[in-house]
Structure 1
Amino acid sequence: MERPLIGDSQGRYRIHIVGNSGTGKSTVAKKLSQILDIPYVSLDSLFWRPNWEETPHAEFKALVSKTMNDNPNGWIIDGNYQNHVGKLVQDTATDIIWLDPPFLLYFPRVLVRTFLRLIGLETPCSPGCKESFREVLFSRNSILCWCWCDHRVHRERGGNRMKEIGLGVGSDVENQRMRRLGGWGKELSEWIKRVESMVRGR
């Protein structure tokens, strides 16, 4: 059976987790951080300043590079931001995990998480970035609208990446390192168990 993670020749893991909003990126990243004992960094926390101010493009890219360089023994980074950093994270990662559950599974999670953030029971995606009822319900920048509209975009983008660097299917054979985890949760939970078994067997 193939290993659940590839890593590099020295047994270090640089993991990039991608997927639409609400697919479980941060949850999986935190879990892997505990299992592998390597730091987790959210691109949201690097990009968004308080009051939803965006970090300038060049500065954001520099922050991402610094984050990776400051953690030579491995890291877990979640988030997309390809329009801002290109393939910077993808090309540095030893493993790319694409979370692609059914829309009907993860959109309700986004609804619940957004409501909890609105009433202060869930931490925002980045410090100082509070969500308001007006923005959530009546703005095109609403996370709900974003999630709804981007579902197909992420499916297409992820599918194209898999054709290029997907494990066992990518055309770039030497750089195959992307894994798709879909379904209603069983595939993901079984994969995490395999990661745990891998670590125990070191």
Structure 2
Amino acid sequence: MGNLQEVSAPPSDGQSVRNVTRYDYYDNGWTKTSTDPWDIVNSFDYNDNGQQTKNTLTAAGGSTSRTILWEYFLSGNEKRRTEDGIPVGKDVVLVDNSDAHNTASQGTWTVGTATGNYGYDVATAPAGTGSAQYNWQLNIPRAGNYDVFVYYPQVTGAATDAKFTITYSGGASVTKTGEPRRERRGRRRPASDRRTG
């Protein structure tokens, strides 16, 4: 079928790679999923008449989702629409090295690609004394407890003991890259226990 496979938008501020949204389809040609450049997935289900019955928007990494459901009368008119919304207290805050307004670096950092990098690129610093720093400045929507994760790709020669400091209203917590982690394409791991923002 002649379905649209992807939409390519101009690069974000300071980037050179275009923003690409990809589409997958059911065998009959109806849209199954769309995945934006930041792995936010929109998935669709339909009834036999082609009317949308379910639309689920899932955050990058699957940390939270929002689902809208539709029911129809036999005539085809909409009977009911329900929405589960984002669970209360489940704010998701995401910052990537390419977010120029929410990051700051100290030392020499090179932008490139790596196996499993998130977004379009990854910032790396050469081995050294640990003086090179990269800061992600989160805009926390409201006070509360947050699970903090860090995602980093597989980079040849990368430090195995790089420190991550999570600063929060109650102080700071330090963790290292060599501590236990969950695998996902690169490495997505809890950077701390729950912290109050």
Larger RCO of the pair (alpha carbons < 8 Å, separation 6+)? 1
TM-score (norm 2): 0.21
Which structure shows the bigger proportion of residues in strand conformation? 2
